[in-house]
Amino acid sequence: MLLIGPRGTRWFVPANTPREVVNAMHQGAKTAVPAPDVLERLRVTGNEALGSTPAEFEQRFKADLVKFAKIVKDAHIPVQD
């Protein structure tokens, strides 16, 4: 499940979260997000839910890291801790 909004793609868990936990969260989101009240809440806050698998999200996240690293480098923004 991807959450797309004015600040980009997000839907994160801590690094090394067990795959079973990620899958359980995914299943919960697949159940909750289609509810009309949840969709409306997302809409009014400028967000949109797009269906995906955890593996598809991981691919998109990695691609976003490459994309934004280039933007930061090209803009000469200093890396911070």
Q: How many angstroms separate the CA atoms of 59 and 14, rounded? A: 17
Asked if 53 and 59 touch (Cβ cutoff 8 Å), the reply is no
Q: Is 2 helix (H, G, I), strand (E, B) or coil?
A: strand
Q: How many angstroms separate the CA atoms of 49 and 3, rounded? A: 5
Q: How many angstroms separate the CA atoms of 76 and 17, rounded? A: 33
Q: What is the pLDDT of residues 8-66, one digit of tens each?
A: 556 667 888 899 998 898 888 888 888 999 889 888 888 887 778 888 888 888 998 89
pTM of the model: 0.60
